[in-house]
Amino acid sequence: MRGFLKRFWRHPFWQDVTSRTIAILLSSAILVLGAVFLALFTPFLSWLAEDVRVSRWSYYLLLLSLLACVLCLLHRIVKTRLRKPPPAFWEYKKDKFGPIVWRWGYRDTDDDIHDMAPFCPKCDTQLVLQDEWEDTLLVCGTHGIVHRTEESYGDIQTFVRHAIEKKIRSGEYPKD
C-alpha cells in the first residue's frame, strides 16, 4: 500500500493536480481575507473622507507646521550633503612617546584630543597607573613596570598631549 501511494504521489499528473489545487485554495483565501479587510476598513475610509469645518487660523497653523517640518528636513539633507570630511589628522590616533605607546580619540566639535590611554609596547595591553610614595608607575599585567617617573600622571598626559598637538601642527605625524 505504501509503495502504491509513493508511485501515485510521484506521478506528474497528480503532482500537477495537487499544485493547482493548492494555488486555487491560496488565491481563494487571499480574496476572502481581502474582502473581510475591505468590509472592516470601509467605515474608516468614509470617516476619513467626511467634510469637516476647520477655522482658518487652525488651517494656517497646520500649513505652517507642515512648512516647518519640510524646512527642517531640507536643512538636515543640505547639512549632511555639505558636511566637511574629517581632517586628515583624525586618522592619527596612536604613537609611541618614550617607552610607552599612547592611543587617543578626537571630539567632533573642537578637534580636541580625549580618552588618552597608555599601552604596553610589547603586548599592547592597557597599562595600569600605580602611585607609589613619590613615583608614578605605569604597570603592565604581563610585563610588570613599563615606566617609572617622578612626574604625576596628569603631567605625563599633558606632555604627551602637547607632543601630539605639535606633531599635528607641524604635519610630522605618521600618515598611514
pLDDT digits (tens, 9 = 90+) for 58-102: 888 989 999 999 999 999 888 877 777 666 777 888 888 888 899
133, pLDDT greater than 80: no
Better pLDDT: 13 or 58: 58
Q: What is the dihedral of CA 45, 49, 51, 57, to 10 degrees?
A: 110
Rounded distance between C-alpha atoms, residue 163 and residue 41, angstroms? 69
pTM of the model: 0.50
Q: Which residue has the cell 495537487?
A: 18
User: What would the mean pLDDT of 114-137 be, rounded to a whole number?
Assistant: 86
Q: How many percent of the chain have pLDDT more than 90?
A: 14
CB 95 within 8 A of CB 164: yes
Rounded distance between C-alpha atoms, residue 144 and residue 120, angstroms? 10
CB 139 within 8 A of CB 146: yes
CB 109 within 8 A of CB 122: no
Better pLDDT: 37 or 2: 37
Q: Which residue has the cell 505504501?
A: 2
Q: What is the dihedral of CA 12, 17, 19, 24, to 10 degrees?
A: 160
